[in-house]
Amino acid sequence: MLDRYEREIDYLRLSVTGSCDCRCPYCVPRGETVRCSSLLSADELAELARAAVSCGVRKIRLTGGEPLLREDIVELCRGMALIPGLEELCLTTNGIHLGRLAPELKRAGVSRLNVSLDTLLPERFQRLTGHDCLGEVLHGIEAAQRQGFDRIKLNVVLMAGINEDEIPNLIAFGGKRALDVRFIELMPIGPCAAFAQSHYLPAEAVLEACPELRPAGRDGVAQLYALPGGAGRVGLIRPISHKFCAQCSRIRIDSGGTLRPCLHSTDGVPLRGLRGRELEDAIRAGIQSKPRGHALSAGAVCQTQTMYQIGG
Query: Which residues contribute to the site for ligand SAM (CB under 6 A)?
Result: 20, 26-27, 63-64, 66, 92-94, 116, 155, 157, 184, 186-187, 189, 192, 196, 307-308, 312
| Cβ count near 235 (within 10 Å) | 25
Q: Nearest residue by C-beta to ligand SAM? A: 312
**Would you mind telling me the total number of residues written for the chain in this entry?**
312
The CA distance from 64 to 312, in Å, is 6
Which of 2, 194 has the CB closer to ligand SAM?
Answer: 194
The CA distance from 117 to 134, in Å, is 9
Supply the minimum distance, in Å, between the C-beta of residue 80 and ligand SAM. Answer: 16
Supply the minimum distance, in Å, between the C-beta of residue 196 and ligand SAM. Answer: 5
Contacts of 135 (CB under 8 A, 6+ apart): 122
What phi and psi, each to the nearest 5 degrees, are found at residue 104? -70, -35
| DSSP secondary structure code for residue 159 in this structure | -
Supply the minimum distance, in Å, between the C-beta of residue 6 and ligand SAM. Answer: 27
The CA distance from 223 to 237, in Å, is 7
Which of 116, 163 has the CB closer to ligand SAM?
Answer: 116
Which of 92, 265 has the CB closer to ligand SAM?
Answer: 92
Contacts of 242 (CB under 8 A, 6+ apart): 203, 223
Is residue 8 helix, strand or coil?
strand
Supply the minimum distance, in Å, between the C-beta of residue 231 and ligand SAM. Answer: 22
Supply the minimum distance, in Å, between the C-beta of residue 79 and ligand SAM. Answer: 20
Which of 152, 157 has the CB closer to ligand SAM?
Answer: 157
Which of 133, 307 has the CB closer to ligand SAM?
Answer: 307
Supply the minimum distance, in Å, between the C-beta of residue 271 and ligand SAM. Answer: 20
Which of 101, 307 has the CB closer to ligand SAM?
Answer: 307
Adjacent-strand bridge partners of 61:
13, 90
C-alpha Rg value of the chain to the nearest Å: 18
